[in-house]
């Protein structure tokens, strides 16, 4: 492909929204579903954003699973509702994101897209209940992995600040308690959406410097 | 209709003379901090720039404001019906800090998803396949309607080219269309430059021959207008998909002239907007030879996204019933995919027949 042809490829930011749906999230289940619905509606009706920021939604509790495979949200007719139950298994969620990245990115390239480094938005309200999550995370973001994602974390409720700061590679936000947990959850998803809109306009990844109701946490790198 | 003649104040106005402006009707984006209805002047908008225009830009705006007065009636009519052309510069301390523009007519508004609110219909809506309209409960535009919108857009491009103006900002959001009569309306004409201007960056509108740091000129506009028309006519957004889908249009001459613009090996070979308009009008036109870059291979079609059950799929603790997931989605690929599939089936049948006959 000549340089001129390269410009014809549409840039694509693979975006993984990884949501904690463990038991502790149950009180916020309705807010979570309402906010996800709004997120879908906004993206599905903003083709300039959705064609740039393709999205996959992964839910995790004791085990993770793919709620929506990587796609332009324009093509998803509606957002399924999430039910919260189980433990908070970070490690298996990171493993699944890594596996999906290895499937999704080649597929996007095969569709003729110029694929940017993926980004994972990680929302949780609790500490990990599995002991091996750090190894899984190290593997996910290993600098030797060409497809390692950027990571932005949003924590609220009992989410431990020190863990979120270790997971994030770009930005970590922890709810500052100035608003209720429901509002914090909604704000986190709006912050993510704003980031995607700004990124689509700029054609590159733009991370919000701040999120209303959240304090920014300094990043702590594992290595 | 809001016309320059309808603007009651001079072509250069102190901002303070307008009084307090109403709230912006647009989020600050691009070159402006906001676009405000002018109090006491219905149908007129004050667009305020991020920073005062430099001397050249201010002079160009003044020239633009005066230009329609010297145009022949047909061009003036096109200015009024199809563009938001500036009618006055807004001054503060002698510096140009914005301009006055006509508001787009109401026929370019409609109640649209997701909330059913009335809003201006960006041409973005047309750059979608028919299935995208149907899914939202909207009637898809017909081929003739897509052609009509394209015709208006190209007519504006021809007008600008005639006066040596470069727009540079052709994109999904800078033109509206009317669902009533399928006319188009191009906004933000105040940003036009004479012969060349800064290359306004919009993702997925990059001219392959004009680096971001290089100025845009008439050939950049030719590329972007052709891309906009290709997207509107095919409903395909990805350039490569649109290039292929052009081959399925029921208008071979249009296919070729658009591909000439989009694949020309050198920018100077891109057909002028006037040539494109002649093709749209069915008038005689002169097609110059164009060295084209090869048509890129058609990429794989995105599979239908899988939407999975919403509770933990393996034996999680007390998993509650999930809301049924939506029906599988068929990706929006226009008719040509079906044609390819049909061709494939026919080819397989022929092959099977040949194998069978050979075995006799």
pLDDT along chain B (360 residues), means of 10: 73 93 75 88 93 94 96 97 97 96 95 82 90 86 97 98 95 92 96 91 86 92 97 94 95 97 97 97 94 90 70 41 33 37 51 56
The stretch A131-143 carries a mean pLDDT of 93
Shortest alpha-carbon distance between residue B289 and chain A (Å):
19
**Residues B64, B8 share a domain:** yes
Most B-contacting residue of A80, A96, A129 (CB-CB within 10 A), to test interface: A80
Model pLDDT for residues A64-119, shown as the tens digit of each residue: 999 999 999 988 888 888 899 999 999 999 999 999 999 999 999 998 899 999 99
Q: Find the CB nearest A68 among B241, B307, B332.
A: B307
Confidence at A175, pLDDT banded by 50, 70, 90: confident
Peptide bond before residue B114 is cis, with ω within 30 degrees of 0: yes
The whole-number pLDDT of residue A38 equals 85
Q: Find residue A164's DSSP bridge partners.
A: none
Query: Coil, helix or strand for A134?
Result: helix
The whole-number pLDDT of residue A93 equals 97
Picking from A56-70, A134-148, B318-332, which range would have the lowest pLDDT averaged per residue? Answer: B318-332
Q: How many domains does chain B have?
A: 2
Burial tier of B32 (Cβ tally within 10 Å: 0-12, 13-18, 19+): buried
Report how many Cβ contacts below 8 Å link chain A to chain B: 153
The whole-number pLDDT of residue A8 equals 78
Shortest alpha-carbon distance between residue B165 and chain A (Å):
25
Give A136 or A51, the one with higher predicted confidence: A136
- Residue B201 lies inside a defined structural domain of this protein: yes
- Residue B143 lies inside a defined structural domain of this protein: yes
Domain's final residue, options B294, B316, B339 = B294
**Residues B63, B2 share a domain:** yes
Exposure of A21 in the CB half-sphere (CA atoms within 13 A): 33
**Residues B179, B273 share a domain:** yes
Q: Find the CB nearest A61 among B208, B316, B332.
A: B316
Domain's final residue, options B260, B294, B328 = B294
Please give the C-alpha separations between residue A57 and each of A64, A79, B220, B243, in angstroms, as whole numbers: 11, 10, 38, 31
- Residue B36 lies inside a defined structural domain of this protein: yes
Please give the C-alpha separations between residue B189 and each of A93, B2, B9, in angstroms, as whole numbers: 50, 15, 20
How far apart, in whole angstroms, are the C-alpha atoms of residue A74 and residue B306? Answer: 13
**Residues B113, B99 share a domain:** no
- Residue B133 lies inside a defined structural domain of this protein: yes
Q: Find the CB nearest B293 among A4, A76, A77.
A: A4
Confidence at A167, pLDDT banded by 50, 70, 90: very high
**Inter-chain residue contact B203 with A48, CB threshold 8 Å:** yes
**Residues B212, B271 share a domain:** yes
Model pLDDT for residues A196-208, shown as the tens digit of each residue: 888 887 777 888 7
Instruction: List the single residue in B with minimal CA-CA distance to A108.
Output: B302
**Inter-chain residue contact A80 with B203, CB threshold 8 Å:** no
**Residues B144, B163 share a domain:** yes
DSSP letter string, A64-104:
EEEEEEEE-GGG---PPPP---S---HHHHHHHHHHHHHHH
Domain hosting residue B145, numbered range: 105-294
How far apart, in whole angstroms, are the C-alpha atoms of residue A164 and residue A217? Answer: 8
Q: Find the CB nearest A83 among B128, B172, B320.
A: B320
Shortest alpha-carbon distance between residue A53 and chain B (Å):
12
Which chain A residues touch B303 with a CB distance below 8 Å? Answer: 107
**Inter-chain residue contact B306 with A9, CB threshold 8 Å:** no
Give A178 or A13, the one with higher predicted confidence: A13
**Residues B223, B146 share a domain:** yes
How far apart, in whole angstroms, are the C-alpha atoms of residue B335 and residue B340? Answer: 9
What is the number of other CB atoms lying within 10 angstroms of the CB of residue B8? 8
CATH of the domain at B176: 1.10.510.10
- Residue B340 lies inside a defined structural domain of this protein: no
**Residues B170, B51 share a domain:** no
**Residues B18, B143 share a domain:** no
**Residues B220, B110 share a domain:** yes
The whole-number pLDDT of residue B355 equals 56
The whole-number pLDDT of residue B2 equals 61
Shortest alpha-carbon distance between residue B346 and chain A (Å):
25
- Residue B325 lies inside a defined structural domain of this protein: no
**Residues B124, B264 share a domain:** yes
Most B-contacting residue of A38, A68, A75, A87 (CB-CB within 10 A), to test interface: A75
- Residue B257 lies inside a defined structural domain of this protein: yes
Which chain A residues touch B325 with a CB distance below 8 Å? Answer: 80
- Residue B199 lies inside a defined structural domain of this protein: yes
CATH of the domain at B25: 3.30.200
The whole-number pLDDT of residue A117 equals 93
**Residues B207, B271 share a domain:** yes
């Amino acid at each position: 492909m000549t340089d001129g042809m390269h410009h014809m490829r549409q840039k694509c930011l693979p975006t993984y929204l990884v949501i904690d749906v463990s038991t502790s999230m149950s009180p916020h289940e309705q807010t979570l579903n309402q906010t996800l619905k709004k997120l879908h509606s906004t993206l599905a009706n903003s083709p300039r954003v959705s064609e740039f920021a393709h999205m996959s939604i992964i839910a995790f509790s004791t085990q993770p699973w793919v709620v929506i495979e990587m796609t332009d949200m324009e093509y998803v007719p509606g957002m399924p509702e999430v039910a919260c139950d189980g433990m908070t298994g970070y490690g298996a969620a990171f493993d699944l994101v890594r596996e999906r990245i290895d499937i999704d990115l080649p597929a996007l390239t095969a569709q003729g897209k110029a694929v940017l480094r993926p980004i994972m938005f990680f929302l949780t309200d609790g500490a990990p209940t599995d002991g091996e999550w750090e190894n899984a995370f190290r593997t996910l973001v290993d600098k030797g992995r060409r497809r390692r994602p950027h990571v932005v974390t949003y924590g609220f409720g009992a989410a431990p600040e020190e863990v979120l700061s270790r997971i994030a590679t770009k930005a970590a936000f922890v709810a500052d308690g100035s608003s209720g947990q429901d509002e914090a959850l909604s704000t986190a998803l709006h912050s993510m959406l704003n980031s995607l809109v700004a990124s689509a306009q700029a054609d590159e990844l733009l991370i919000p410097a701040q999120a209303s109701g959240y304090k920014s946490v300094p990043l702590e790198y594992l290595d | 209709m809001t016309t320059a003649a309808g603007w009651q104040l001079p072509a250069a106005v102190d901002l303070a003379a307008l009084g307090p402006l109403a709230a912006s009707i647009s989020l600050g984006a691009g070159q402006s901090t906001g676009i405000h209805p002018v109090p006491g002047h219905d149908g007129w908008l004050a667009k305020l720039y991020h920073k005062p225009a430099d001397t050249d830009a201010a002079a160009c705006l003044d020239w633009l404001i005066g230009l329609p007065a010297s145009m022949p009636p047909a061009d003036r009519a096109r200015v009024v019906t199809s563009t938001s052309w500036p009618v006055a510069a807004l001054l503060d301390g002698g510096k140009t800090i914005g301009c006055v523009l006509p508001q787009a007519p109401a026929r370019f508004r409609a109640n649209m998803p997701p909330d059913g609110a009335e809003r201006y219909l960006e041409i973005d809506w047309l750059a979608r396949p028919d299935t995208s309209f149907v899914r939202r409960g909207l009637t898809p535009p017909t081929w003739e309607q897509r052609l009509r919108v394209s015709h208006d857009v190209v007519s504006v491009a021809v007008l600008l080219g005639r006066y040596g103006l470069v727009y540079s900002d052709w994109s999904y959001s800078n033109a509206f269309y009317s669902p009533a009569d399928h006319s188009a309306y191009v906004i933000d004409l105040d940003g036009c430059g004479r012969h060349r201007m800064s290359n306004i960056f919009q993702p997925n509108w990059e001219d392959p021959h004009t680096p971001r740091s290089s100025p845009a000129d008439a050939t950049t506009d030719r590329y972007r207008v052709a891309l906009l028309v290709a997207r509107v006519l095919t409903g395909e957004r990805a350039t490569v998909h649109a290039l292929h889908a052009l081959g399925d249009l029921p208008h071979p001459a249009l296919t070729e002239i658009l591909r000439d613009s989009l694949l020309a090996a050198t920018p100077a070979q891109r057909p002028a907007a006037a040539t494109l308009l002649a093709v749209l009008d069915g008038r005689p036109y002169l097609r110059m030879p164009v060295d084209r870059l090869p048509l890129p291979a058609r990429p794989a079609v995105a599979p239908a996204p899988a939407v999975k059950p919403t509770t933990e799929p393996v034996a999680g603790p007390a998993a509650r019933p999930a809301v049924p997931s939506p029906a599988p989605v068929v990706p929006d690929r226009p008719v040509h995919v079906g044609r390819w599939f049909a061709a494939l089936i026919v080819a397989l049948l022929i092959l099977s027949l040949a194998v069978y006959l050979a075995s006799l």
